[in-house]
Structures are given as structure tokens and as C-alpha cells.
Structure 1
Amino acid sequence: MSRSYPSTIAAPLEHEIVITKSRFITHVVPVADVADADRAIAEVRRAAWDARHHCTAMVTGVLGDQARSSDDGEPSGTAGVPMLEVLRRRDLTDVVAIVTRYFGGVKLGAGGLVRAYSTSVSEALDRATVVRRVALTRVSVDVEHADAGRLDNVLRSWVDHHDATLGDTTYGAAATFELWVPAQELDVLRADLAAASAGALDPIVGDARVVDVLP
């Protein structure tokens, strides 16, 4: 059975809600690591320097094994941790959520703050494009230029039916197609390529790595 990995998001996004006159502006940003997340937080702080709070939550690492949160002046446990729980429930990693609050003059209480911060992140993520992450094996296939167009069509159809993805195609002495293929599909690929080329094509199998797969 193949291992499952947390997902991430495709692109940064911004979402705002207003609760009892307080504005909660959420930025959710895909990041490479903790330092990248800290840069995203710093950018939001600079842009919204006049806000009272910039509460944050981040999860990083291929396995989502690094996490951090901050209440940034809100009562302890009412902002950062609820935000982090949303990221955990969505099974996301390499993402940071920053919720900027402009105080509206009415106190929300601890329960109100928990709901406001968690709802802010949850609604923002509802608008995100989620990117699955899977362990795939790199495969390259060399083909004569005259056959490249036909093989391109064959491979595009093949990856659509085998949870694989096409990488870059390079053109040198031959056309080299790159595929990322689940380990359990490698034998199927070999057989299908042999059938499509009267046995002329033999894929070169490389290393496995965790890659992003857009929906």
C-alpha cells in the first residue's frame, strides 16, 4: 500500500470576513519551509502595519511534521491554535495562514474569537485549489523525432488513466519524454510502451520522489 502525504495549496489567496464590526483578513500562502513562511508573515505585517493583531499558523515538511502558531496578543489559545487545527483537519502542509484583525470596538469573548479565527481560515481554504502530493517514480522515454508526436498523444492518454503525470520533454539527438509514475504502474507502462512501439521502446526508471499533482 502506498503511503499518503499531506496536500498543499496551489497559490496564495486572501479572504475577509466581518464579525461584530471587527475585520478578519486571512492570507493563506503556500511555502517551501519555515523561513519562507516567516517572510510571508513579515510581508503581511508590513502591508497591514496599522492592524492590532496578525495571528498565524503554519505547517511545513513533506509529512507535515513541523507546526507553529501565534496568538499575537489575543488571549492565549483563541487564535493561533484554532487556525492550526483547521490546517490539520484539512491535512495540509507547506502552508501558512495569517489572519489580520482590525478591532471593531466590541469584544468577542474567548469562544467568539476561536470561532472567528477558525472560520476565517476555513472559509479562505474553501476557495483554495488543493494540490495532492504523491510519491511517484521518474521515468524517461527516448524516441525518434519522427515518432515524437504520436508518442506524445499515447503518453498523455496513458497518464490520465494511471494516476501519473507528464514532466518536461527535451529535444536533443532524440525526443526525451519525462513521466512521473506510481511504482505499482511501472510494469504496466513497460508493457504498454512495448505494445505501442512493437517492442522498440524501453523506459528508463529513475528515482522516486514526492511530487505535487494538480487536480
Structure 2
Amino acid sequence: MNDQPYLVPAASATFEEEIKKSVFITQLAHTPSVDAAKAFIDQVKVQHAAARHNCWAFVAGRSEDSMKWGFSDDGEPSGTAGKPILAQLSGSGVGEISAVVTRYSGGIKLGTGGLVKAYGGGVQQALKLLQTIEKKITTKLNLALDYGFMPIAQSVMAQFEAVEVEAQYSDQVLLVLEIELRHVDAFTQSIVNKSGAKAIVTPVKDN
């Protein structure tokens, strides 16, 4: 599993342009799953039900995870819409994103090259408007330690940006921490070393 953070959309973005009397409206949205992507696509199809074409593509996970890609030409000639849209999304480095490009046809044919340029170009322009945030891959850990080791624990937690989610105080301090997956090994090693192996770190088991 890839534990590195990646970019996702912080908000939706829209770009509109007219090419040879056809109006192209590109809408981008944050869609964290395939179901969310399909729901967004359906929503745009309803919004622009009068349009000739609502072509789309989505990347439902990391931008490089092709298992979570999808696309459709929605009636345009094969390969002229869905693939160019997907190429822009997958090459953007942004994950969990969907694009729908709506075309209101003006009656002038653009040809296959023109369509590829229009659909890909619209997404390219919309991506320039897109604001992104970093999505961190996190996990939860149990930390059991004596009260005397709390200052050490708090110092190591701050170093690795671990966040206390729950705390129980009995004979020992029992903490549940949320931490980036990529820091787990280093965090565990550090806290075990600094506590003389008195602090016990275990993964939280999902119910």
C-alpha cells in the first residue's frame, strides 16, 4: 500500500469556452470513490439534460491507480472525448477527481482532432483553476505507558505529528493516536527506545 500523501481537490472548478459555435463546459469535483464519481456524473447529466453530449472521466483513487479509472465518450466518436479527459486527470497528479465536459453543439463539425483538443483542453484549463489539498494516509495506534513517560511520549508525538484521539488513565496511561502511516515505524522505534522499551505500541484493530 502506498503510504505517501497525495493531492485531492479542495473545491469544485468550472471552465467554459466556445469553439466553432459549440459551447464546452468542464466541471471538476472531488469524488473519493467510484460511487461518488458516478453520482457526480449523473448530477451533471441532469443539470445539462438538454446538451448533446456529457462526456466524462474519473480517477477515484490516486492519480496513478488505473484500477480506479473510468471514462465515456457519451456519443462522440470513439477516443475523442473520454480518453483525452482521462489523460488530463491522470497526468495532473491529483487524485479522487472527476471531470464532466458538457457540449452544446453549434452545428459545425470539429473533426476528431478538434474534439480531442476541445475536450482535453477544457479539462487542462479547468485544472489550472482547481485548488487542491494534501490527503494524508493515516492509521491508529494504541500506546500504553507509565505516567512518568508522558513528557517523552508527548515530545515524540509532536515530532511525528501524532494526534491523541482517546485517552484512559488507570494504572497506566492508555492512548489511542492517529498518525501518518509512513511515520509508524520511526515513531514506534523512537518511543520504545526513549522509554527503555517500557512503552508498548500496538496497531488498533478495526471492529
Deviation at 1:51, TM superposition (A): 2.4
> What is aligned with 2:188?
190
Structure 2 unaligned blocks of 5 or more: none
Give me the whole-angstrom Cα distance separating, in 1, the residues matched to 2:66 and 2:87: 13
Identity %: 28
Task: Note the 1:35-74 alignment, pairs <5 A.
Answer: 35-60=35-60, 63-74=65-76
> What is aligned with 2:12?
13
TM-score (norm 2): 0.71
Aligned-CA RMSD value? 3.6
Contact 1:140/1:203 (8 A) holds in 2: yes
Secondary structure at the counterpart of residue 177 of structure 1: strand
> What is aligned with 1:204?
202
Give me the whole-angstrom Cα distance separating, in 1, the residues matched to 2:5 and 2:190: 31
Matched to 1:117, the amino acid is Y
Give me the whole-angstrom Cα distance separating, in 2, the residues matched to 1:147 and 1:68: 51
> What is aligned with 1:172?
168
Structure 1 unaligned blocks of 5 or more: 160-165, 208-215
Per-residue CA distance 1:99-156 (angstroms, 9 max, x = gap): 112334544332222111112212223324164676x764332457897687445423
Q: Relative to structure 1, is the Cα distance of residues 102 and 33 closer, same or farther in structure 2, using a 3 angstrom cutoff?
A: same
Contact 1:64/1:92 (8 A) holds in 2: no
- Structure number with larger C-alpha Rg: 2
Matched to 1:171, the amino acid is A
Question: Mean alpha-carbon deviation: is it higher for 76-85 or for 139-148?
Answer: 139-148
Per-residue CA distance 1:157-187 (angstroms, 9 max, x = gap): 224xxxxxx456113334432323327x61x
Give me the whole-angstrom Cα distance separating, in 2, the residues matched to 1:177 and 1:23: 51
Secondary structure at the counterpart of residue 102 of structure 2: strand
Task: Note the 1:1-215 alignment, pairs <5 A.
Answer: 7=6, 9-20=8-19, 21-60=21-60, 63-90=65-92, 94-126=96-128, 127-129=130-132, 131=134, 138-142=140-144, 151-152=153-154, 154-159=156-161, 166=162, 169-173=165-169, 174-182=174-182, 186=185, 188-194=186-192, 196-197=194-195, 199-205=197-203
Q: Relative to structure 1, is the Cα distance of residues 52 and 30 closer, same or farther in structure 2, using a 3 angstrom cutoff?
A: same
Deviation at 1:53, TM superposition (A): 1.7
Per-residue CA distance 1:50-79 (angstroms, 9 max, x = gap): 322211112346733143322223233211
Give me the whole-angstrom Cα distance separating, in 2, the residues matched to 1:52 and 1:146: 70
Q: Relative to structure 1, is the Cα distance of residues 141 and 82 closer, same or farther in structure 2, using a 3 angstrom cutoff?
A: same
Give me the whole-angstrom Cα distance separating, in 2, the residues matched to 1:23 and 1:41: 18
Give me the whole-angstrom Cα distance separating, in 1, the residues matched to 2:3 and 2:179: 20
Q: Relative to structure 1, is the Cα distance of residues 132 and 45 closer, same or farther in structure 2, using a 3 angstrom cutoff?
A: same
Deviation at 1:16, TM superposition (A): 1.1
